[in-house]
Every structure is written in C-alpha cells, then in structure tokens.
Structure 1
C-alpha cells in the first residue's frame, strides 16, 4: 500500500519545539490571556489570535508582556492559516525568530515565492535558523527542487537540534523511498523506529515490503499494531499494510482473515477503500480457491460487527453494506455463479441508491444479463441507467445493450434506444455517435427507409450504398455480396472475406467496390489501422472506370478517416475540395457539417459559424438544418463579442420557433446568453417560460431549476427575497423521490451556495455534507458526478475552515482524497496541510 505516506510534512508543522519561546509566567494571572492560550491548545487558533490581538491593543503592557502577547498572536494567526493578519502584526511588533514566522505567514498569504526568496537570502547571509532551513527545504520540495532540498536536509540532519534533525531525516528517508532507494531509507528508519516514532516505523515497514524483506516488514507492523501510540489512523494503515505483506508472501488465507478482521472491527475508517480493494484482490488470487468469508454475508445484511453494536448505527453502515454486496457479487462472477451474482447486484442497485459503486454494479449486471440472453432485463436496466446518469453518460449502456440486442436479433429495440440518445444528445459529437448506432441497428433490422434517412445524416460514418455494377460472373458477385452483407452487419469476418475477394479476383470490375468497403469496415474497428485504410482507398482510387459516385465515396471515406485521426485542418481542406468538386451532391450538407464541426473543434469559431449558417441557408429542408442553426449560435457566442451574443440569441430564437427537438435546448441557451450579458431578469423570464412547458424531460426540468436558482441568487444581491425563492425551489427538487445522485449533488451544491449568500452558513454546510455523504467512501462514478461532488466537498471544507473546525475540515478533505476523481490528490494535499498546521496528526512526534 503506497498511499500511507502521510506522516511527513510538506509544510512545517507547528509544535512546542517551533513555538515562539517567550516566558508567559507574568501573564498567567490575566484571565483573557489564559483563555487565549487554552483556545490555542484546544485547536481554536483563530479564537486565540483574536483574543491576543485584542489584548495587544490595550495600553499598559510592559515590553516583556507585549513581546509575549505578540508571540502568541502571531503563532495563533499562523496556525489559523491567516498569513495576512500575521504579517500585519509582524510589520508592527517584535517577536522571537521573526524571519521564520514571516516566511510561514507569506506562504499562508499565498506568497510562496516571496517566502522562498526570503529564506534563500537568509541562508546566503548565514542568518537562517534551523527552523528556517527546514522550512526552506520543504519549499524546495514543493517546487520540485529535490536535489537542493536533499543537500539542505543532509546538513540539518547532521547539525540541527534533535527535533529538527529528526524531521530532516524522515524527509530524507521518504525521498529515498519515493525514488526507489529502499536500502538507505530502511537503514536510517531503523534507528528512528527504535526511538519509538510510529511514522518512521510505518515508512520503514513499507520500505522493507518493497525490498521483499517481508518477514521483517511483518514483524515491524505487528509491533506498531501492538503499540498504543501513533493514533487510530496509523493503526488502520498498519493493519492493511500487514495484510498486503501476507498476500505478497503467498499467505492468501491469512491475508483475507486479517483484512476481514480489520473491516469487521472499524466503526469508520478513511482507508476502507484500500481495504476492500485488497480483499477483492486476495479473493480473486489464483494461489488457491477461497470461499467468500461468512463475515461478508453478515456485512451485507447488517453492517460490520461494531456498526451492529452501536447504539445509533452510523450513516456509513449503508455504504459499507453496499461495498460488501459488490464484493460478494464480484467473487461469485469470478466463480462463474452468474445467477447468484445478479441477485446481489440487483440488491445493490435497488436497495442502495446513489451508492458510489452503483454504476459499476449496473455495468456488471448489464454484461451478465447480456451473457445470459436476458434481453428484457437488459433493456430495463438500460432505461434505468439513462434516467440515473442522463443521456450524456449512457455510452456504455448504448454499446452493451446494442451488442446484446444485435446478438439476440432485437434490432427494433436497439433502434429505439439509440434514437432516444440522439434526440437528447447535448453535443454534435454525441448526436453523431448515437445516430450512427441507430443506423447500424436499422441496417440489421432491414429497415431500409429508416436506414436511408439516418444515412443522410451519417454518410461520413457508415457511408455509401454499394455499386450496382454487374459482371455476369454470378459466383464472384455472390461472394462479394456476401462479404458486403457481413460488412453491413458489422461481422468480424467481413475483413477476411473482403480481402479474400480482393486477392482472388484481382481483375474483377467490382474490385474498387471491395476496396472501398474494406476501407469502411477497417475504419470502424478499434484499434484503427489507418495505414491499411489509406492503402485500400488508394487502390480503390486507382481502379479504372470509376463512377462519379464511387469517387465521391472515396473522398467521403477519406474525410471520415481524417476526422477519426483528429487531423482537423485536413478535414476542412478535404471537405472544401469535395464541395468544390460536387457542389450539388446529396452529401453536401453532411460534408459541410463535418467541415463546420472541425472548425468548431479547432476553436475557429468565425469559420465554424459561417459553415453552419451555410448549411442552414442552403439546405433548409435537410435533417441538419436545426442542428446547424443551434451550433451556429454556439459558435457565435463563443466569439466573445456583443455581436456574436446577439447573433446567437437570434439563431436560437429561430430554432425555438421551428419547434423541433432542439427548440427547448435553444431557449435554454438563450437564457444562459442573457445571463452572461447581465440580463438576469430577462433570463429568469425565459427559464420560467420553459418550466411551464408540458412533457418537459425530467433532466431538462432539473437543469432549468438549478439554473433558475443561480439567477435568483444573482438577483438576491439587491433583492434578498429572491434568495428564499431559490432555496424553496431547490429544496422541492431535493425532495423528489427518484432523484439521481447527479442531480441531488448539483442541487445540493447550488443550495449550499444560495444559503451561504443568505448568510445561513450552518445550513449551507449541511447541504454540502448531504452531497458528500450520499456518495459514500469511494466517491461518485461519473465525471459529472465528480464535478458536483468536489464542488460541494471543497465548499464544505471552506465553510468548516471559516468556522475554524479544523478536524472536521481535515476529515472531509481526506474523504475526498479517497475518491478516484481528478481532484483527489488536491484533497489529499489539503488534508495534509490542515493536519500539519493544526496538530491534527494521529501520530504525533
């Protein structure tokens, strides 16, 4: 387990050895001073700083007393992470070790570079204390200057006070472990471990494990676990690390027993994720078959042992039970007990809504039902997925259900699913992908009229009808027709059949058709062999007596290949050549859409707008017209000009008046545009009008509700009554019984923002907790969910820090750090900083 590297500071922790050492003997009779000192010791540094600063403002202090008060105030402001306040005091008051505290305060105020430069100057002048040099080493490490930091740490290790020297040694040892130099780190950590440092012991155990000295690692971990020092978190980490050591030793059964014991005896733990992952790894190991532990079955029904005994079971019990369900289901799937696994997956899906692993459970269930040919349940789960995760997150369902339906021959059902996805797609790329799947399903179903209609929009994706050339060679024609049918059905054998035809019939009149079909089949394969596609297109282009339609088809296929390669500039050039050569082509609209899309993706919004407008003007009756107008508006507003915004609003107004599938999204975009222009009242009117629409999709309605609340919050700056309207609508949304995690998270975060704007901080914090707690320990499971999860989580941390509730803030940050999203590392760093600055480490020196 490499995640247990959190005992060493990346920013200097403040403790007794680093505190401002001024005797306070003469001040102890002052009640307010005693309260300030007590507040600091109780973890309320802002309270201590406020009291000490207020005392400083009073008259009559002696110089020694003033020095004592200033020392306490500066230290307290620094511990409260208010560098600005600390710098204000430091500019007017004398304190011991002033340069060190100024550097600390500058870092807290965001002037890390200034702090580093000041410390470097102190070092060059030979004036830097050991505390300042240690802080400088940490600043260098944060900047990635590892060699400079190492050199300075070596000096500190050899010359500084025992406390600073020990800190420097630990930092050096961790540097060695991270760089793979295990032996030097392990050797040095041995001495520190002998001195009774739990952090050093855990680091050393990790190093021993990486060196494959598993026996020594195990002994050290058992010693740590038998110690009463180090804190709960260190003991949890040691327990899981010990289990991993056992697994590496091939002691699979003991590993399972150890991790089960850990999980069954922790009311709550911030490393449950690692523990469940390790248990799953051990159960799936091929060392020997292991029966699912009985405890896991108990966890499914009632949580673990200590949760069951608690007077009021913690909220985490439900999440723990969900993890146990998924663990058991995975084990049964590994045992090929698919029906039993499905029962557990269904239980997780139905009983633990919004569980962090809900999406994974649904994915496993879809795949397993598909393998069992249970198409009805596959379709039902697919529908549930769409309702839960919205169309933008249903790509996996599209392909799983599509593949299953194809295998079962239920093509009509596939068409319906894919067309639904296309109708609610939020971007041109999503719509194109969904329409492509619908076209393939229509081809398989024999729905030729429908296929041709879809083909008009997707000629680039699955382009072309085969040539009608006949040769009189019935056997050869039949062979090619069979290969083309395989290609149309998406069968893997199509490539082999087409290549066999090309090799066998080198002079066949329909050879160009075969080369072109091969290029099209290769284009949809993953991974894509672009060199082979280009070779096939070149062979097709070199064939004699090509029809004009075949020439068009070659150009179209090359255009789609360039798009798939991401060669956007080449797409625009090739598309322009096509339009110049065949301006009256039936595919002119789709080609111009492709060119417009490429310009849009290149962020050449002016050219994209022009191309989209041309599609709408020249092909007003085509299926692309509405989409072209919609994205002409998107391109126009992206030009960041008043003219572009007004043009976009007009484009969307035209789309809205047409009354097509994009009419409501267009009106929504109008509202957003007016909001960006500062026309909140007009934007609110548009949203209110949209919300009165009948048969409004639920996801659209929820999105509009959140956007409306945001606008009300803006209006609330001058009219506080608007804030209560926003709160009321969001609470109504959150009370919906079928609300998915995505929408509860977005609405919850928005509610927190509105409440904070209303100065209702406690309620705002509650809304943030509701969002984070609902996601469990491993976090959400899709990018949109992560977005609102992190927004709410970091907002909650901000509120807690504002209220000076450091322990709660650190725990919330560590919870976010256990997630799997792109801000987990940021959360971990934040938790580390909070704990370092506020003495919240479980393992204290």
Structure 2
C-alpha cells in the first residue's frame, strides 16, 4: 500500500530536505551537461551546497558566507548565493537569520518563497501570505506556493478562501495528498464533519495514515466524545513534527475537558523537556500558559529551569517570556516587569518581543502609569518578528495610554489604526474608542472618521448607541442648546439618558443639584427605575443627614427590587463597606464575596475580594484563617494593585496560625520581586517581627530580626513612621541580646529627632518610654529623667504621662527638682 505522504514546504523539515535534494539533483544533472561552461563562482556555490544535502547545513552556511565576503561575485551569482544562504539558514532552524538575509530579496520569487517559510516558522502568517502569492508565478514553486497560501489563509481563519484556493490544485498534483489533508483539516475547523468524513472515505491512504487517524480523533472531540478521542490519540505514532504537535495539543485538550489539568500540564512539560529544539515549542508554550492560567497554584518551576538553561537557547527564550507571564499571573507583577525587560534586552529579535512590550504596557496601564506605558511602546517596530500579529493590540494599548494622558487626538488615531488591523469583533471597540477620543479632542465639531466608520460597519451595535449617549452627555456638560433634545433622542435606545443630568451633577459632587434633577426625572414615564433607585441610594450615602441604618435599608431594598441591575456590584460594595465599618465582619464578607462571584469582570471585584479576606480574618469563625488564605490567593492571581497586599495578608495569616516558616517564605518572595517602598517596609517589618518571635528558640533569630529592620533604614524612600518603628524594634531586640548600649542608641535615634513639621507620636513615645525603662532598670535615674523630659517637652498625647513619671522618680529617689 502506498504510504500517505504530506508535502509541507513550510512546516516539516522532512519535506524541506527532500525538496532540497530534488533541486540539488536537477542542478547536478545540468552540471554534467554544461560542466565545461561553469564559472568559477558557480562551481564554488555548487560545492558549498553539497554539505547541506548531506545534512550539514551549518557547513554550507560557512562556505556561502566566505564566498560572499570575497566580494568577487557578479549580481546573478550574488543573488543565487544569498538565496541559498537564506534557505540554508531556514533548513538549519535559524529562522531569524534566514529572515535577515532574505528580506532584502523579497521581490525575488524564489527568495520570497523561502522568506515565507521562515515567517511561518516564526508564526507570522500575515507576512508570509503575500510572499506565497508572489511565488505562485514560478512554475516550479507554484503548487507549493498555492498550498502555502491556502495554509496561511487557514491559519488566519479565512476558511472559505482557503478551500477555494485549494480547488485550483489538480487532484494528481505532486502536493495532491497534502491538499486532501489540508481540506479535511479546514472542514473540521468549520465543524463540517460529514464532508470531512467523505474525504477520508474516498482516500483510503489518507484514512489509514497517522493524519487520518488524527482526524478521526478530532471528529470524536467535536462530538464531545473526549475519552474516545483520547484513546485514539494514544495509539497514533508519527515522525511528522507538525502532526506530533497537533496530537499533543489534542491530548491536552482532552485532559482539559475531562478536568485532569495535572495530566495536561505533565504532558506538555515532558514533551518540552525532551524536545528543547522542536519547532512546535512556540505553540506548546502558549498552551502550557493556558493550562497554568486554569490551575490554582502553578509553581512555574519548570519555566524557571528552562529559562536558565543556556545549552538550549531556543527553549530558553520562550521559557523566559512565559515565566514572566506566570509570575505576573500569580501576583508577582513587579518581578514579572523586570523579567519582561530583561527578555527584551537579551533577545531583541525574538518573536515574542512585541508581546513582551504589550505586557509591560498593560502592567503600567493597570497601575495608572500611562506615560510609562506609552514610553514602553515607543520602541515597537512593525517589522520585528511577531509584530504583525500584535500590531492591533499595540495600537490599542497606545491609544489607551494617550487617552489617559488626555492626548485625545493622538489616541483617536491610534485606536483607528487598531480597528483597521484587527478584523475581529474587537474592531468595534477600537472604533468606539477612536470616535470617543475624537469627541474629547474636538468637542462636538464634525469630521469624526471613526464615528462614520462605526455607523457604516456596526449600524445597530451597542458601541454606536453608547457613543451617541456620550455625545448627548457632552452636550449636557457643555450646556449645548440642544442638549435636552439630544438626551431625549438617545433615551429611545439608552435608558441612562433619562437621568443623565442628575448623574452628571452627582459625579461632580453637586449633590443638591443632583437631588433636584433626580426628583424631576424619577417619575418620568421613560425613567429607568433601577438607575433612579441607585442614584437615590448614592445620594443617601453621600448625605450627612441620612443614617447608616437608612442607607442599609435602601441598599437591601434595591437588591430585592432589581436583582438583575448592572448597579448590583456598587450596591453590594456600599453594603460591605458599611458592615465592615460597623465590625459586622461576617455580613461584610458575604457582601464582598457575593459581588466577586456574581460579577467577576467588575472593576470592583479585586478590592471586594481583598476586603472579603480581611473580613474573614476578623470574623472569628473556626475556619476563618484558611478561608482568608484562599480568598487572598484569588486576589494575588488577579495581578492588580491589591496583589502584593494580598500576599502580605497571607503572611499575616500564616503567622497567626503559628506557621512562621510559611510566613517567612511568602515574605521572601514579596521582597525578591517588589520595589514599592511602603510594601517592602511592611514586609521587612513583618519578617523582623516573626524572627523576633523565634528569638527564644535561638538568639541568632534576634540578630536576623535586626538585620531585617535595618534594611528599612537603608531605603531613603521609606516614610518616618516605618523608620521609627524599625529603630524602636531594633532597640527591643538588642535588649533581648543584652546589648543595652546599642538598644539605647536605637531608641535615642527616635526620641531625640522629633520634627514638629512632620510629627510622628506613636513610635516617638514608644522608643522614649522604652529607653526610660531601660535606664531605670540600670538605676540610672538622672538619665531616665532626661529622657522623660524630652518626651514631656513635646505637646503630644503622652506628654502628661512623661511629666508624671519624672515627678515619681524624683520623689522615690530623692532627686532634686533643680
């Protein structure tokens, strides 16, 4: 039986080698006929290609490079040499080098074909597509170029165009088997199982091949027969690298659907470990990242190990990027930022460099650092590997940063570019943002190109309705003469317009005007009741004349009356905050957790979960601590502004549960990745506290506690309360070590440097009274009195206590009052 063969001129190395051998054989035949007329350069080029045909492409690279460096070639020979050098780089798996050599020759059909091969290997399908289209004009390359173009359309999800293109290839073509395979794959992507099944029935060779059995497994997956699919996949064996990749991804998908995430992870990790140079690693790392995203506590240990493996740079490059992604996911966002920067610095030509820049920009935008986000995107270059597929995201992020910086005109252009680069539904959002930016930049003047395009492409979409509503709000804000008319018109499709004036006034803290407008619109026939009720609740919460009990009653009435309202997150947040203030922590936790569960995408979710964790800790319930740990873990994984704070809270819980080692480990991770001075100071303080508590076990723990607190003093960014606290606690530790001199010196640094312009009383008095007690224990009454006199001289909350202590010491020890 004929063995099914897949001709893949751009994915499997096997075909590339076979195709190269065919071309080489043809060249040798011609050489035997025309040997007498070969030029010296042609002869040397032919000799240089022989090692490649024998499986030694690096030797050919060296020989071709030497020929080019001699600068003796005519233009024709130079073109041929560069073509062969680029192709050899490709066959050696050095795709970036291939692109660098072949890009200047992209107008040449043969060079362009191999350039397309390299782009595909980098996952840049959009850039490969026009090169395959141009290569179709070459008769030798035509069937391969058509197949390559069809596969690019397939990769870009242009399924019908790909099917139409495949029909141009005759059934008995040299790539006929691959055409049948590609058509089957596309039909399965379109969920057209019956047509795909017909192809397999008509092609027994394909059906019995590893690819055919893989397609049968895919059909089982599409029918959600996950166990059957897994069984089929387990018995497919092949040396086709693309098929190996597809089988692996399919098995992972089956494990995912069966809920066995651990097996999915192990499968990917094992393959990546055993195949550090496999061409499918980019896809496999992305899939592993998805698996980690679904796991509760991904360790990332394998990523760290691979990233540090200098012997396998191809794998290490992807591991470095996804290690940073994983750190960001588990709440170590500051450390992830450092890793992304190092990735860009060390691998400037890597296909994921542009994605790394986007991750950095998102980090800054998430932390309200729009200018830093914009700066991080300023060096983005569209010609870099991987840039084509991410250009829309880059421009969207650039628009977001510019908008946050009030550079609305530039933001409008960036969002407009993003909409043109993204054919998906996300283009509607980009167009809306562009139109909105233009509206902010140009008031209500005409010429809003994005709005025109939005009306044309999405005439019934929510984005256009929302834009018209914002325009009406802007007219109300600027007291435009037709504002009322605009709001009434928008109200036909946007319920919010009925209360637009009142909401606007409330947002600008004009509560009296807001109350007046609310009363005017609340009984209007077109008013939307839950909006009116929410505004009434907000006005009550902001008023000093309404009690908390009344606000609680209004909020509970709202939740009962409007169970589907979009304002439920805000209402539950208000309720939770009030209960928390009243120390009804169990009720507060219920409100915060309900908010997060019902509205996981709300901007309030992260803060609500954080406060739920704090409520759990304070609730005194039997399982409160463990429950709080789980809640804080969720917050940390959200990678938001509360992530590091959640880790600190976890350390506190572990300390409260008398698990000092676990608490110290959490704090160590925070300190390794966190740069914020306040968070570092808090972590160092807590670390010192825990070590101090272990002092009775071994006095070296007092020394370690002192070292931890001393790190706070070395940071010039740390505020005075943290420094005074650190000095006071250092003094206490020195007392435990019976080093009273150093203890007194630490206390002295606090109570002798009081600054009335920046008063800090708590640790000032704490250090002073501790110093006084130390001196009293040494019967140094006069020195103790001098300390208390310094405390009494400051008009603070414990000054009177210091005066009383002075008087008592003088009376007890008959010390003169002079």
The higher radius of gyration belongs to 2
Query: Which has the bigger relative contact order, CA under 8 A and spacing at least 6?
Result: 1
Instruction: Establish whether TM, by shorter chain, passes 0.5.
Output: no
TM-score when normalising by structure 2: 0.39
